[in-house]
Amino acid sequence: MSLVAAKDVWREYARGGIAALAGVSLDVAPGEFVALLGRSGSGKSTLLNLLGGLDRPSRGSILVDGRDLATMNARELSLYRRGVCGFIFQSFNLVPTLPAWENVALPLVFRGEARTARKTKALAMLDKVGLASRVNNRPTQLSGGEQQRVAIARALIGQPRMLLCDEPTGNLDSATSSQIMQLLRDAHSAGAALVMVTHDPELATQYAQRTVRMADGKLQEAA
Amino acid sequence: MNLGAMVWLALEGLLRKKGRNTLTMSGVFIGVFALTLIVSLGQGLSRAVTETVSGTDNLRQVGLTGGFGIELSNDPAEIEISGEMNDARRDRLRRAAVNRRQIRQVAGRRANAIDDKTIAQLSKLPHIESIQPVIVERYEMKLNGHQSPATLSYGVDVGRKRYADRVIAGSYFSGDNAPEAIVHEYLLYKWGMLNDGDYARVIGQKVRLKTIQTELTPEQQAPPMLQDMLRDLTEEERKAMQTLLPKLLKQFGQSNERRAAEREFTVVGVLREQIPGDPFNVIEDGNAVQADLFLPQETARELFLASAVNVELGYPRALVTVTDSEFAPEVEQTLRDKGYTAFSVASALKQIESVLLMITVSISFLTGIALIVSTLGIVNTMITSVIERTREIGIFKAVGATNAQVMTVFLCESALIGLIGGLLGLGLAALAMLPGDMLAVQLINEKAAIPFDQPVFVLPLWLMIAGPALGTGTAIAAAILPARRAARIDPVKALRHD
Ligand SMILES: Nc1ncnc2c1ncn2[C@@H]1O[C@H](COP(=O)(O)OP(=O)(O)O)[C@@H](O)[C@H]1O
Ligand SMILES: [Mg+2]
């Protein structure tokens, strides 16, 4: 049983324009670590967004627990993201005006958790990613690596079954990168499935169980 | 959904742009401030009017004045004009008939005199407790070497305690037909009794009152519509008129023959002027505001009726007291139907209240424009805020916010603007009421004959809630479209937005 199964997925941004995804089929098993490789513009981010329910395919189906993301309404997609996914972006995407712990606790706000519970959980997560001393710092007061660690803590706080990482180390130097990758590996060991977009083949072979190559919106599955 | 967390996110968003949001808020603030002030003024005035007159027996009283034959219809439609003619001519003749009737009415004597006989008849009408003649008359007055040609006197119902309370020297009347008089402090002042101690000199003195006898010329006595004619007469015609007119007037019940009456009373006290806080009876005391001399009711009546012309013409006014204030308007109407001129505070109060309500509502609408303008500011601010926070909306959605939750955050943001603005508006309005009240009471007392010391601003609980609620509601309504726009933002695009 796969966690997410994309079948012949197409995504055309403009009607009649070129397809960012042209018939992609990809299964992600529970707890699996998949690396998505490919040149810029090959459709990696597009696929990732579809798997995470941030976007809907033009054609094809994406099955999760027997339900098709393609036919879900906006509310159902939100609840899917809330319950299943954690996102990590290249540009961190933290709320600049909120301190680290409140950024981490943000998913819990929309789950309706009380402030004290949010804070306790956020502080525990920040401790896990080694930022116990930076809980009250705003993103601008943190380095790139620290910001990405806050983002990882935020992605993990909801205990997602799948982490979707779009070039998580793309903005970081190699030493910081390996710290981040270590945290992602820990999350994977704890049981989460991971789909990571990267254009660094070395990272892919070093961490992923399976590497998938993309070109022109199509998959070229490799070993 | 945890609304507290949404409110908190909204507040955090608000605090980011303090200046902009303060400006936006000031629109709501001004709107709610003005609206609260105006509505509470309307409330206060209406209550003040009621309070001012609902003491004593104001609402149970109907003022009665003799009518002028209004039982004759002045409605042209009811006048029969016979003969074959076109409608225009019939209309003209009807009009002419009405005009001629009106002249006859005014020239004639009062069709509905108020005398002891009619009072006895009217007293049998339903809901009437009592009818008392109002005795207001001018007399030549002599007291202690002082003299006044036409002092206004007023007959006091001795049972009325509020007059007793105003006696500042000497004592009050001993009975309804005691041969006693009370002098107003102003008359004594005019007579040069400047010092407080001077009052003692008039207490116990005799005051002489005498019917004023003036020989009026026919012109002076003639009804207004005859005056023009008299002016245009030749010298001979005028002479003829001099002898003819008194006869004619006598025929109509008017006469310059008066039998003089003269009485002597003992001054027992000095009455002070009314001051704010005194109970005031609109219909009764309205007759007495200019009086300089006060007599017990029965004493005054006896003197009044000692003059032949008064017996003939009847009392100028009467005071009708009904058994319960709810019957006042009904009794007032009954008396009018009988051809009298009647006035009741109870029905005047109803009119004043409805006028006040109308004014309040219409000014409130005008003030509402301030709120409407403030919504434009809110719409603008919220659209700007949504655009600025596009990426954040993407983040919210990525971490699992539903469209409804995103919308709620922005609605809360706007609601906070409205609520804070509304509360500030309410607070300042409440503060402004203190000096406002003092100023208003002062202004009213400068202008009004009725002593007045009621608050003119009243802030009831419902208004305390309605003001800020209206501000909040307006702000929420203004934010609906921007918030919907925020909710519909595509998260993928939003996350790449900068
Ligand atoms: N919102 C969009 N509108 C139009 N074209 C888009 C949009 N997003 C991506 N594309 C196009 O789709 C293709 C795939 O993009 P993307 O998935 O971002 O590639 P990658 O992540 O592999 O670099 C590219 O040609 C890109 O220009
Ligand atoms: Mg990409």
Identity of the highest mean pLDDT range in B78-92, B176-190, B224-238 = B176-190
Radius of gyration of chain B (CA): 35
Percent of chain A predicted with pLDDT > 70 = 99
State the pLDDT at residue B253.
Answer: 56
Find the CB nearest B400 among A55, A74, A78.
Answer: A78
Q: Do A110 and B400 touch (CB under 8 A)?
A: yes
Residues of chain A with CATH 3.40.50.300: 4-84+160-222
Say how far apart CA B340 and CA A93 lie, in whole Å.
87
Per-domain residue ranges of chain B: 3-54+351-496, 136-214+260-314, 217-257
Please give all residues whose beta carbon lies within 6 A of any atom in ligand 1, as ranges. A 13, 20, 38, 40-46
pLDDT digits (tens, 9 = 90+) for A11-56: 998 887 889 999 999 999 999 999 999 999 999 999 999 999 999 9
Cα distances (angstroms) measured from residue A23 to each of A26, A40, A58, A181, B95: 10, 18, 10, 30, 97
Is the confidence at residue B448, as pLDDT, over 90? no
pLDDT digits (tens, 9 = 90+) for A177-205: 999 999 999 999 999 999 999 988 999 99
Question: What number is the average pLDDT over the span B143-156?
Answer: 88
Percent of chain B predicted with pLDDT > 90 = 36
Q: Give B276's DSSP letter.
A: T
In chain B, what is the greatest distance between 2 CA atoms, to the nearest angstrom? 113
Question: What number is the average pLDDT over the span B126-153?
Answer: 89
User: Any idea which ligand is nearest the CA of A40?
Assistant: 1
State the pLDDT at residue B93.
Answer: 85
| Burial annotation B14-51 (CB, 10 A radius, 16+ → b, else e) | beeeeeebeebbbbbbbbbbbbbbbbbbbbbbbbbbbe
B-chain residues within 8 Å CB-CB of A114? Answer: 2, 4
> Of B183, B261, B260, nearest to B215 (Cα)?
B260
Whether the CB-CB separation of A131 and B423 falls below 8 Å is answered with no
Going by CA atoms, what residue is nearest to atom 16 of ligand 1? A43
A-chain residues within 8 Å CB-CB of B4? Answer: 114-115
Helix (H) or strand (E) holding B367: helix B345-388
B-chain residues within 8 Å CB-CB of A106? Answer: 395-396, 399
Q: How far is the CA of A43 from the centre of ligand 1 (A)?
A: 6
Decide: helix, strand or coil at residue B152.
Answer: strand
Q: How far is the CA of B182 from the centre of ligand 1 (A)?
A: 104
Residue A63 forms contact with B (CB below 8 Å): no
Positive or negative: CA dihedral B211, B215, B220, B222: positive
Is the confidence at residue B342, as pLDDT, over 90? no
Helix (H) or strand (E) holding B369: helix B345-388
**Rounded to a whole number, what is the distance in Å from the CA of A152 to chain B's nearest CA?**
12
Say how far apart CA B46 and CA B356 lie, in whole Å.
7
Report the amino acid identity of residue A171: N
B-chain residues within 8 Å CB-CB of A112? Answer: 1-2, 5
**Rounded to a whole number, what is the distance in Å from the CA of A200 to chain B's nearest CA?**
22
Q: Locate the ligand 1 atom nearest the alpha carbon of residue A42 and give its number.
A: 22
Residues 6+ apart with CB under 8 A from B469: B422
**Rounded to a whole number, what is the distance in Å from the CA of B409 to chain A's nearest CA?**
11
State the pLDDT at residue B55.
Answer: 65
Is the confidence at residue A127, as pLDDT, over 90? yes
Question: What number is the average pLDDT over the span A133-157?
Answer: 96
Is the confidence at residue B262, as pLDDT, over 90? no
State the pLDDT at residue B104.
Answer: 43
Question: What number is the average pLDDT over the span B105-115?
Answer: 58
State the pLDDT at residue B308.
Answer: 75
Question: What number is the average pLDDT over the span B211-234?
Answer: 65
How many angstroms separate the first and last alpha carbons of chain B? Answer: 29
pLDDT digits (tens, 9 = 90+) for B266-280: 999 999 998 877 877
Whether the CB-CB separation of B136 and B316 falls below 8 Å is answered with yes
The overall average pLDDT reported for chain A is 93
Residue A27 forms contact with B (CB below 8 Å): no
The CATH superfamily holding the domain A4-84+160-222 is P-loop containing nucleotide triphosphate hydrolases (3.40.50.300)
A-B contacts at Cβ under 8 angstroms:
78
Whether the CB-CB separation of A19 and A11 falls below 8 Å is answered with yes
Residues 6+ apart with CB under 8 A from B318: B63, B64, B114, B119, B131, B132, B133, B134
Say how far apart CA B255 and CA A3 lie, in whole Å.
117
State the pLDDT at residue B103.
Answer: 42
State the pLDDT at residue B243.
Answer: 76
pLDDT digits (tens, 9 = 90+) for B159-188: 878 899 999 989 999 998 899 999 999 988
Question: What number is the average pLDDT over the span B76-89?
Answer: 80
Place of tokens 């949001």: B21
Say how far apart CA B318 and CA B287 lie, in whole Å.
10
Residues 6+ apart with CB under 8 A from B34: B367, B370, B425
State the pLDDT at residue B190.
Answer: 87
Q: Locate the ligand 1 atom nearest the alpha carbon of residue A197 and give its number.
A: 21
**Phi then psi dihedrals of residue A173, to 5 deg:** -75, 170
Find the CB nearest B5 among A52, A83, A109.
Answer: A109
One-letter-per-residue 3-state SS of chain A:
CCCEEEEEEEEECCCCCCEEEEEEEEEECCCCEEEEEECCCCCHHHHHHHHCCCCCCCEEEEEECCEEHHHCCHHHHHHHHHHHEEEEECCCCCCCCCCHHHHHHHHHHHCCCCHHHHHHHHHHHHHHCCCHHHCCCCHHHCCHHHHHHHHHHHHHHCCCCEEEEECCCCCCCHHHHHHHHHHHHHHHHCCCEEEEECCCHHHHHHHCCEEEEEECCEEEECC
Q: How far is the CA of B496 from the centre of ligand 1 (A)?
A: 11
| pLDDT level of residue B406 (50, 70, 90 thresholds) | very high
Decide: helix, strand or coil at residue B228.
Answer: helix
Question: What number is the average pLDDT over the span B311-326?
Answer: 86
- Cα-based torsion angle of the residue sequence B324, B327, B331, B334 in order, rounded to the nearest 10 degrees: -150
State the pLDDT at residue B383.
Answer: 95
Question: What number is the average pLDDT over the span B429-436?
Answer: 91
| pLDDT level of residue A70 (50, 70, 90 thresholds) | very high
Decide: helix, strand or coil at residue B223.
Answer: coil
Whether the CB-CB separation of B346 and B328 falls below 8 Å is answered with yes
Place of tokens 């579809």: A50
**Rounded to a whole number, what is the distance in Å from the CA of B26 to chain A's nearest CA?**
25
| Residue B263, strand partner residues | B209
Q: Do B399 and A93 touch (CB under 8 A)?
A: no
Query: Chain A residue with minimal CA distance to B5?
Result: A109
Interface confidence, given as ipTM, is 0.96
Pick the range with the lowest mean pLDDT from A96-110, B3-17, B174-188.
B3-17
Residues 6+ apart with CB under 8 A from B180: B173, B174, B265, B266, B267, B268, B295, B296, B299
**Rounded to a whole number, what is the distance in Å from the CA of A199 to chain B's nearest CA?**
19
Query: Chain A residue with minimal CA distance to B397?
Result: A78
Question: What number is the average pLDDT over the span A193-222?
Answer: 90
Going by CA atoms, what residue is nearest to atom 4 of ligand 1? A13
Strand A4-12 vs strand A59-64: parallel, antiparallel, or unpaired? antiparallel
Q: Token pair for residue A174?
A: 């190699």
Report the amino acid identity of residue B343: F
State the pLDDT at residue A68.
Answer: 95
> Of B406, B394, B412, nearest to B490 (Cα)?
B394
Q: How far is the CA of A46 from the centre of ligand 1 (A)?
A: 6
Q: How far is the CA of B313 from the centre of ligand 2 (A)?
A: 108
Query: Chain A residue with minimal CA distance to B393?
Result: A95
Name which residue leads in pLDDT, B335 or A221: B335
| Mutation target among A106, A147, A156 for the B interface, most CBs of B within 10 A | A106
pLDDT digits (tens, 9 = 90+) for B360-380: 899 888 888 888 888 999 999
Is the confidence at residue B18, as pLDDT, over 70? yes
Question: What number is the average pLDDT over the span B459-466?
Answer: 93
Is the confidence at residue B213, as pLDDT, over 70? no
Q: How far is the CA of A160 from the centre of ligand 1 (A)?
A: 26
Q: CB B472: neighbour CB atoms within 10 A? A: 22
Report the amino acid identity of residue B57: D
B-chain residues within 8 Å CB-CB of A54? Answer: 397-398, 491-492, 495
Is the confidence at residue B222, as pLDDT, over 70? no
Say how far apart CA B418 and CA B474 lie, in whole Å.
7
